[in-house]
Structure 1
Amino acid sequence: MKKYGPIIAFVGFSLILISLLIAISSVPSDISEDETFLVSSLFEGMFDDVSETFQIMPGDVIYTSYTTSLSDVPLLWGIQIIDYQYGDMLYIQISNIFGDSYGEFVQNDSVLFTTTMIDQSDTLNFQIKNTGTRIIDTMVMFSEDPENSDAFSNPNSPMMDMLLSLIISGFLIILGIIILLIGIIVTILDLKNKLDNKRNY
């Protein structure tokens, strides 16, 4: 009985280690090989289009566009500031070829994601201005009707594989923590009983 506590605690600790290994292995290998972290690499297969990297001088503006092929669907788009530093800021204006506005956005963090509802197939023009004080490298990502994209609907897609691994990892780490705590409690109770028995003798 006196050894049950440490054994239970060891099992819990082992589950925590296994969960961390699963989480690490679920991250695409090319992310760890590259010093530059790209969101598009982490969510492989989720985006229909990923732009090239744009370099924007302070006060300058760059333009990029995306043409949707579906109607009455959400367009998920995101902008990443590569190697983000505090104070970096972008001002984004979106419009179509007729000049209709789809909104204005301010980005003052490393990544901005938002969804724009598209009533009918359209070409969206993105005007991105660097309102910060240093040169910014940025990239734009697009996913049309993301809820029904292959990344989520295909159980064998890289995205689903990663999500499943992270879910399993999360479950194991919670289970491991619970078992570890039980092991610690059992160990403390065993020590208490041992001390009580010594006092009785």
Structure 2
Amino acid sequence: MKKSGPIITLAGFSLILISFLIAISSVPSDISQDETFLVSSLFEGMFDDVSEPFQIMPGDIIYTSYTTSLSDIPLLWGIQIIDYQHGDMLYIQISNIFGDSYGEFIQNDSILFTTTIIDQSNTLNFQIENTGTDIIDVVVMFSEDPENSDAFSNPNSPVMDMILPLIISGFLVILGIILILIGIILILLDLKNKLDNNRNY
């Protein structure tokens, strides 16, 4: 049997292993191993404002606001439930100082991120209600025009230091899978040819 098939398959598995090692090494090592770490620490420099943790009792409401400095830009905002437990739930209403609604959202997972288009400089008020049955601690994050933020435009930013290796890792995974499939096909063809040769004898 030809050895090209097994060699190519082994090369594919090796690339996938290397990709996982690259992905693991790209994640900052100082991140807490428990579930209380803040998502904002993964994307240092990406957010214009990160609130202090708010504690919300069941049925209670807290209010926070953010004033944009730019017009005609997307505002990326997110809410993280710290140490999320099954059943935790938030109801979020967004409006400006004139009472215009910018949407209502239900959060029943640990993290919610969404984008709101801001057509002119504005102050958005966030009404966050704990509709679950347990006390919830939350952190609110804001980023104006995130695509053009320094976190993505600066190749030396902490975010890019993490994202670029992840992109390379993803490419290696795809390449590894392709090599594995090619190797398996070659192995099957070699087996078929060997069986055909045995029949001829």
Q: Do these two structures clear the TM 0.5 threshold for a shared fold by scoring above it? A: yes
Per the alignment, in what secondary structure is the counterpart of residue 30 of structure 2?
Answer: helix
Structure 1 residue aligned with 2:10: 10
Secondary structure of the structure 1 residue equivalent to 2:84: coil
5 Å-filtered alignment, 1:41-56, equals 41-56=41-56
Q: How many Å separate the matches in 1 of 2:121 and 2:36?
A: 34
Unaligned runs of 5+ in 2: none
Provide the C-alpha distance between the structure 2 equivalents of 1:175 and 1:100, rounded to a whole number of angstroms. 49
Alignment of 1:8-47 (within 5 A): 8-31=8-31, 33-47=33-47
2:66 maps to what in 1?
66
Unaligned runs of 5+ in 1: none
Q: Distance in 2 between matches of 1:48 and 1:104?
A: 23
Counterpart check, 1:159 vs 2:159: yes
- Amino acid paired to 2:188: I
SS at 2:2 equivalent: coil
1:124 aligns with 2:124: yes
TM-score, normalised by the number of residues in structure 1:
0.88
TM-score (norm 2): 0.88
1:186 corresponds to: 186
Distance (whole Å) between structure 2 residues aligned to residue 163 and residue 110 of structure 1:
22
Partner of 2:109: 109
How many residues were matched structurally?
Answer: 201
Task: State whether residues 71 and 121 of structure 1, in contact with CA within 8 Å, keep that contact through their aligned partners in structure 2.
Answer: yes
In 2, the alpha carbon distance for the partners of 1:197 and 1:164 equals 49
- Following superposition, the deviation at residue 37 of structure 1 comes to 4.1
| Contact 2:35 2:82 (C-alpha < 8 Å) held by counterparts | no
**Structure 2 vs 1, CA of residues 194 and 99 (structure 1 numbering), >3 Å: closer, same or farther?**
closer
What is the identity percentage for the equivalent residue pairs of Structure 1 and Structure 2? 86
Q: Deviations over 1:99-150 (max 9, x none)?
A: 4443332222222222223343333332211011111111100001212111
**Residues 191 and 116 (structure 1), Cα distance of their counterparts in 2 relative to 1, 3 Å cut:** closer
Q: Which whole-Å CA distance do the structure 2 matches of 1:24 and 1:12 have between them? A: 19
Task: Name the residue aligned to 1:174.
Answer: 174
The superposition leaves residues 49-106 of structure 1 with CA deviations (integer Å, 9 ceiling, x where unpaired) of 1111112110111222222222332221111112323322111223344544433322
